[in-house]
Structure 1
Amino acid sequence: MYYIIYAFLYLCSLLPLPVLYLLSDFFYAIVYYGIGYRKKVVMDNLAIAFPEKTIGERTRIARDFYHKFIDSFVETVKLLSASDAFFEKRFTGNWEVVDRYYDQGRSVQLILGHTFNWEWGNVQIVRKIRHTFLGVYMPISSKPLNRVFKKLRSRSGAVLLSAHHMTREFLPYRRTLYCLGLVADQSPGHLKKARWFHFFNRRTAFTVGPAKGAITNDAVVVFAAIERRRRGYYEVTFTVAEEHPKNDTDEHRLTQKFVHFLETTIRKNPDMWLWTHRRWKHEWKEGDVMGE
């Protein structure tokens, strides 16, 4: 099954990007207007995040989001055959912010949210920095699809660490010069270990694991924000959050900084964030630990 899926997607990836975007337009209409995939989740999330906006304004954000959401799929398929020159032109950034720490003998912990197109960013950063790039991923339940996506995400040499076994798989790289990429905006798997922060008008659970790891390893903490300049062209901006987390901060304050950064990033480009995940499925209860 893996080879059938891979062969089909590879053939699709050979299509010019404008043709893939025509397919994206077609599937957008089916997903948004026909199937209505997770539309209630998206609209509920937008109502929580933007209560000051009208229903019409939130609907426009939803439509734009779904268009970019489907675009992200065809762009990810393009990973199978696109050249390095393709990404050099279409995904740019201030890579020197991360790369300069290599000469200082410092590892980096890169934290971002699910803003499009993080899959292209995963490929391009390996080419632009000298650190060993470690990308944490959530395995897909379908084994053939998981194998395809692992191949996509490691095409440039990224080392993939399963989110289910991250601590164990990270250990061999702990003493090396690494850049650990973490997408840290999903609901925590272990709610009892989470801390609660004010995020878009709602007390929201966040894991403090990334902050703990950065402090333990004294890795430079860098936040990343991706913006879409136009269709098929992205730019990432890296911002140093903490140069010496072991000495200068604690896990709650560092997580709070990310929460604030994430909300600011989403408010700037609300149609770029993955609204289909249920970010507010848990509610704060008396006794839950606030991180601020």
Structure 2
Amino acid sequence: MQRLIYLIAYPILLIISILPFRILYILSDFVFFFVYYVFGYRKKVVRENLALALPHLSAKERLVIEKKSYSHLCDMFLEMIKTMGISNKEIDKRFVFKNLEVYKSLEKEGKSIALMCSHYASYEWVISMNSKIEYEGYALYKPIQNKYFDNLVRKIRSKFKAHLLPIDKSILLIDNNFHKNIKSLYGFASDQSPIVRLNTYWTKFMDIEVPVYVGAEMLSKKFDMNVIFLKVKKLKRGFYEAEFEIISTNVKEVPNFGITDMYLRKVEDQIMEAPEYYFWTHNRWKHKDRNPKFLKPKK
């Protein structure tokens, strides 16, 4: 069944990938109409998230952000497919790293690098960075259940020298690279909601107490990596600008969870600048009332 679904979908994806951008965005507007107005995809989740994260805005202002966020979501989905056929020259024109020298200065220090980013703007096109660096680049990800689509995604990423690293295999590979002195760049998108366990770290995100991922901090300290944040801006439709911000070059001196908290503050600032480009369809705050520290014991 997985193979059949892939064989049906692949020709459609291939056709979309060769469309001129002008036609691509006309298609995106068409998709937006059905996703937002006809199917109402996760509209309840989006509205709840916006109300929680942006309570200072009026319902009318949040509705404007809501519609813009769905439009951007459709753009980004089609841009992701477009990556199948996009050239290095084209993606370099559309996704610009404005201060790559900051990253390269860290490579010269001779330590591996943890790059932290969020599900904001075009997190898919960050992979173009790998064609501009000396280190091996790995992006930690959760594999797609359909193995054929998963292989396709890996193949697309390989065009830009990017390696997709399944989360459950990340520690083993990073440990191996560390002991073989293979300097690498590891990309973490750490703004989603983890499984809640007794030892889960809870902190404020958009002023709401939530569980957060600490894997990037844990691994950067264990293997003594420099840590940077990649802030992405959407300049206009199909054009983005990314800027590196150093979080720490001496991670072992940072108090526990300090790196995670600094990262979250940067994500919050990014969201507040232009909230319509955040990934609001994910139920990021679903565990907000489940912190074990505050739950009343059952009688």
Same fold by TM-score greater than 0.5:
yes
In 1, Cα distance between equivalents of 2:76 and 2:182: 32
Q: CA deviation at 1:38?
A: 0.2
In 2, Cα distance between equivalents of 1:109 and 1:164: 17
**2:57 is equivalent to residue 53 of structure 1:** yes
Match of 2:91 among 77, 87, 100: 87
Contact 2:210–2:291 (8 Å) recurs in 1:
no
Q: State how 1:27-66 maps to structure 2 within 5 Å.
A: 27-66=31-70
Q: Which one-letter code corresponds to 2:183 in the other structure? A: L
1:94-127 superposed Cα distances (whole Å, 9 cap, x missing partner):
22211222222121100011012111111x1101
Q: Which one-letter code corresponds to 1:287 in the other structure? A: K
Contact 2:17–2:83 (8 Å) recurs in 1:
yes
In 1, Cα distance between equivalents of 2:22 and 2:267: 31
Q: CA deviation at 1:286?
A: 4.9
Match of 2:268 among 263, 266, 276: 263
Match of 2:162 among 158, 161, 164: 158
Q: State how 1:58-137 maps to structure 2 within 5 Å.
A: 58-93=62-97, 94-122=99-127, 124-137=128-141
In 2, Cα distance between equivalents of 1:4 and 1:130: 38
What count of residue pairs does the alignment treat as equivalent?
286
**2:249 is equivalent to residue 249 of structure 1:** no
2:297 aligned partner: none
Contact 2:130–2:161 (8 Å) recurs in 1:
yes
In 2, Cα distance between equivalents of 1:151 and 1:193: 37
Match of 1:217 among 205, 218, 223: 223
In 2, Cα distance between equivalents of 1:39 and 1:5: 25
Q: State how 1:231-242 maps to structure 2 within 5 Å.
A: 231-242=237-248
Match of 1:169 among 160, 166, 173: 173
Q: Give the TM-score, by structure 1 length.
A: 0.93
Q: Which one-letter code corresponds to 1:201 in the other structure? A: D
Q: CA deviation at 1:188?
A: 1.2
Contact 1:6–1:148 (8 Å) recurs in 2:
no
Q: Give the TM-score, by structure 2 length.
A: 0.91
Q: Which one-letter code corresponds to 1:135 in the other structure? A: A
**2:33 is equivalent to residue 15 of structure 1:** no
Structure 1 residues without counterparts, runs of 5 or longer: none
Q: Which one-letter code corresponds to 1:276 in the other structure? A: T
Structure 1 segments of 4+ aligned residues over 4 angstroms from their partners: none
RMSD: 1.5
Contact 2:117–2:229 (8 Å) recurs in 1:
yes
Q: CA deviation at 1:140?
A: 1.6
Percent of aligned pairs with the same amino acid: 31
